Amino acid sequence: MKVLLAVACLLAVAGAQVEVTLEPGAKRGTFLNSIQQLIINTTMMLYPDGTNMDQGIRIGVMTARNDLCKISNPDTQSHNSIILGKSCKKAFVKLYNEEPDRCGGVFCDVLTDVESKTLETMTDLINAEFDSDFFDLIEERFINPIMEYSCKCSGKMMDAWMGCKQNIGDADIWATLVNFGGFDTDAEYLGGMDWKEYWVDFVVETVPWEGIQTMLERTMANLCQINTDIKRGDSKCYSYFYDAFNTLFQAYMKSTGLPAATKKRGGSSANDQCTTYDLSEFMDMGMNITFGDIKEAVEEQFCVEECADFYQEEFLGCCTASMVQDEVLEESVKSVAEDIVEVFSAIFPEDEEAADAGFAEYLGYYNEAMKMMRNPTCVDTSVSYDMTPCTVDDPCDGLSGKDLKKCKKKNKGGNDEGDDAADACAGLSGKKLKICKKKAKKGNKG
């Protein structure tokens, strides 16, 4: 018996000490290889034995999932939520019950995927052999599902939050954080206020939610609209910007001398020449590359006649034109950034001067970029660019939340038939409403 126990203990110890080795799929020396090394480090932190999630992290994820999945479970929709409290839980349950999007179920979906798919996704990213494989995975696993959901639900979710945030202080999570979070409840930034009172007020009143809501709505309106430069299909602008980012990433790698993980191919194309920027001297001398250096290098190629078609298609299409000409978006970005700097300075007054200087610097970069892209012109050559925003038949396409409601209300007068049907059926619901609309439609045809 003692022998069996000893063998069992040895096996247990041996099993606990098994080392799972993960090796980057990209060739050694490439930039992708270094990124994969970082992902390996993160993976081993999350999954110490290579298979099971770290116990502390797993308990945290499981606790959050059990709480937030009450939203999408009819049997527990009336139960209290530790994290969201009563009001916000009710608001997101209402959204979940609205078919077909069921927007309120996102919390449960994300946390379930974190538990079941994180290891597989990280392993696939580590095994990617080429840059293209790596970015295809990012697009497939993250960009597309996140944007598909956001285009349908971001506005609705934000509206729900804006309507319930005033009561977030009722959630039990605050007491849990005070008791077990290890926070300094007498910190100087609190100014003598109770820790919970300070942070509830911070979340509800200090965070610039109205500006964030406007910025989110306008961003989604631009990203979720159809890219009308593409004549077939309904490709959205978020795909266009992701492709543009990939092109810029490869150009940056090439221009700074960072080795890319690419499939071998012969010769070079005109596009290669158009995205070769003279930045190597800064890298060779160990100098920091400034925004001005990058802008100057890009503009030099930007105004080459042989590159005009490439830049028009890859970077200055209708999606870009729509984004950079959206003045409401621009002002909301500036406003939110300024508010965040003020909030940061209030919490960390010793860093206020550095924060203000950093804000001024990056605001200058932003203004310069907007100016250049809004009206791209070349003085020394005849190169010019068409910056016409995407145009769609539906003026409300791509909008969500309050913007969508306002747009529909504004454009409602253009559909006489729909208005007549709506007036005739006012006050009805369910089957009676459907029957009434059907009759009204037949009457209009007759």
What are the φ/ψ torsions at residue 166 (nearest 5 degrees)? -60, -25
- Mean pLDDT per 10-residue run, the chain (446 residues)? 41 46 92 96 95 95 96 95 96 96 97 96 97 96 96 97 96 89 86 93 95 96 94 86 90 80 62 70 56 71 88 93 94 94 88 89 86 82 90 69 73 44 47 53 48
Q: What is the pLDDT of residue 1?
A: 40
Kindly state the greatest CA–CA separation across the chain. Answer: 93
CA-to-CA distance for 108 and 29, rounded, in angstroms?
A: 40
CB 403 within 8 A of CB 218: yes
CA-to-CA distance for 309 and 296, rounded, in angstroms?
A: 20
CA-to-CA distance for 40 and 32, rounded, in angstroms?
A: 12
CA-to-CA distance for 359 and 365, rounded, in angstroms?
A: 10
CB 22 within 8 A of CB 43: yes
CA-to-CA distance for 203 and 167, rounded, in angstroms?
A: 11
SS3 (DSSP) at 226: strand
CB 134 within 8 A of CB 57: no
Alpha helices (H) along 224-303? 237-256, 270-274, 280-284, 291-302
Cis-peptide, bond into residue 145, ω within 30° of zero: no
Q: Cβ–Cβ contacts within 10 Å for residue 68, how many?
A: 24
Q: What is the pLDDT of residue 398?
A: 67
Q: pTM of the entire structure?
A: 0.78
**Residue of 374, 388, 387, 383 whose CA lies nearest to 301:** 383
CA-to-CA distance for 224 and 238, rounded, in angstroms?
A: 6
Residue 158 burial (CB < 10 Å; 0-12/13-18/19+)?
buried
- The type of residue at 203 is V
CA-to-CA distance for 217 and 331, rounded, in angstroms?
A: 13
CA-to-CA distance for 149 and 100, rounded, in angstroms?
A: 12
CB 242 within 8 A of CB 142: no
**Residue of 244, 260, 254 whose CA lies nearest to 283:** 254
